[in-house]
Structure 1
């Protein structure tokens, strides 16, 4: 069982570096950040780039893993992304995990002037994006002419520190995304069922996640892979419980125990941000980081 955190890229680095160091001092397995151009209620406030932020975080931490939750094709191209990722993996000494998903309909979807893609268009792009990125991170030179992306003798020498490449944590719930997770992922990521966020119950949410895990297992079986070889990551804060698990240590231990019992191997909690959807008592957050796994026997 692992416990990780998300640190949104909203802080100038003079303050932000303290938060990333604190996350490592608290013992989190990993600290992730969102890879967006802006996001929801934070759109009109400070929001910094994910890759530079994580590179800076790599320089002020020693052992904690770092990653994105998640990067998407909305404004990324595999060729330029691969170069950034290889550099970040090198700077971090092989501590980087790429959380990657198909993207959504938020601000990123239209910031470059394009029309927002339909779910099918996002799935089509994702189905080309992931295999091409896999090649770019494992081969010295890649040429590819696809429906959406091209690469002409794209060089990526010396490659990743982690071999054969840095790990992918694939966010997916649909059949095409789960197939990609089964084939290319070292981890699978979910936030639960978004349809249950407003009106669902915690039990309905857990039942939906059981169904997602069953479909992941089927996708792995179809690809000749044992699903036990994938880490299962839950990004919390988007289930019917919302922020309640962070109200007390006991509440979190109960929440975590129920979800670890489903088969999740890593839970990710948001670092507190006052006056936002991620507001939480910092003292409780720190107790969760330092005491929760011990109470769960992990």
Structure 2
């Protein structure tokens, strides 16, 4: 099992570059960042763009993979996103993974809407995601793309020379519903979950493990329908949204990771500590997890 981290894009680069370098020094497999315009309790705090942040991070790291966790159609268009990703993949020398999901109904869902407009419904988000992912896949694979869809269009969109990673950079598709799982099975090199949100506040750790096991079973069924072996997909768990406190101690994390390792997860992602926030954890515990926990599952 691999261990990775999420570094929120909240730091001026004079400080931020030290954190990204430190993440590589600690041995994390990958460092991701959120691709939002703002996020929850950080809405009125510093928050920088994901793609520029990752570009800067690519220039100060050398081994560690980098990526978004996750990008969504809420404020992205496949044509412009593809151009940015090809550039980022080039700057990083092929170290980029695109985490991608349907998005939620938070601040991103209304920032680009007119006054009084409602955010997309869950069905509308799924509709956009269902067209967004195949078009982005094509844009990253082919030098010229024309597409006339119900929600997105592209007219001779050029993406030369394409990705460093061939045939394109990997997609880590965040999904739990049937339409999203179908996209993960067809287009994903990895699948991402945060667990079952209904259990976060009132569920138990045991219920969460069972619910995530059900998600993996449904992913397997979607892969079978797509004629694909579910074992081909990496399985990524983003922590911080399941019951319990797996980062309160090293032993608690090893126990948590062990249960999810048994479910078949290949990567667990922990948030870089942020003081006085929901991600405020002991730095010494965090660094011990980063440097020692993966060895428990070799």
Classify the secondary structure of the residue corresponding to 2:246: helix
User: Among residues 155, 179, 202, which one is paired with 2:205 in the alignment?
Assistant: 202
2:189 — aligned with what?
A: 186
2:272 — aligned with what?
A: 271
2:16 — aligned with what?
A: 16
Please list the CA deviations of residues 48-68 of structure 1 after superposition, one character each: whole Å capped at 9, or x if unmatched.
000000000000000000000
Return the TM-score normalized by structure 1.
0.98
Q: Distance in 2 between matches of 1:239 and 1:7?
A: 19
Tell me how far 1:44 sits from its aligned partner.
0.2
Moved more, 266-275 or 112-121: 112-121
Question: Which runs of 4 or more aligned residues in structure 1 lie more than 6 Å from their structure 2 counterparts after TM superposition?
Answer: none
Would the aligned equivalents of 2:113 and 2:119 in 1 still touch at CA under 8 Å?
no
2:232 matches 1:214: no
Moved more, 96-105 or 113-122: 113-122
Would the aligned equivalents of 2:175 and 2:191 in 1 still touch at CA under 8 Å?
yes
Please list the CA deviations of residues 190-228 of structure 1 after superposition, one character each: whole Å capped at 9, or x if unmatched.
000000001000000000001000000000000100000
Q: Distance in 2 between matches of 1:297 and 1:180?
A: 30
Q: Distance in 2 between matches of 1:246 and 1:291?
A: 14
Any gaps of 5 or more consecutive residues in structure 2? Answer: none
Structure 1 residues 171-182: aligned runs within 5 Å = 171-182=174-185
Q: Distance in 2 between matches of 1:137 and 1:152?
A: 15
Any gaps of 5 or more consecutive residues in structure 1? Answer: none
Please list the CA deviations of residues 229-278 of structure 1 after superposition, one character each: whole Å capped at 9, or x if unmatched.
0000000000012xx21111111111111111111110000000000000
1:123 — aligned with what?
A: 126
Structure 1 residues 148-297: aligned runs within 5 Å = 148-241=151-244, 244-294=245-295, 296-297=296-297
2:170 matches 1:141: no
Return the TM-score normalized by structure 2.
0.98
The aligned length equals: 295
Tell me how far 1:297 sits from its aligned partner.
3.1
Classify the secondary structure of the residue corresponding to 2:44: coil
Q: Distance in 2 between matches of 1:131 and 1:246?
A: 37
Would the aligned equivalents of 2:126 and 2:180 in 1 still touch at CA under 8 Å?
yes
Would the aligned equivalents of 2:38 and 2:107 in 1 still touch at CA under 8 Å?
yes
Q: Distance in 1 between matches of 2:248 and 2:203?
A: 20
Classify the secondary structure of the residue corresponding to 2:111: coil
Structure 1 residues 16-165: aligned runs within 5 Å = 16-114=16-114, 115-165=118-168
Please list the CA deviations of residues 102-134 of structure 1 after superposition, one character each: whole Å capped at 9, or x if unmatched.
000000000012530000000001000000000
Please list the CA deviations of residues 81-122 of structure 1 after superposition, one character each: whole Å capped at 9, or x if unmatched.
000000000000000000000000000000012530000000
Tell me how far 1:169 sits from its aligned partner.
0.1
**What CA RMSD, in Å, does the superposition of the two structures yield over aligned residues?**
0.6
Q: Distance in 1 between matches of 2:224 and 2:293?
A: 33
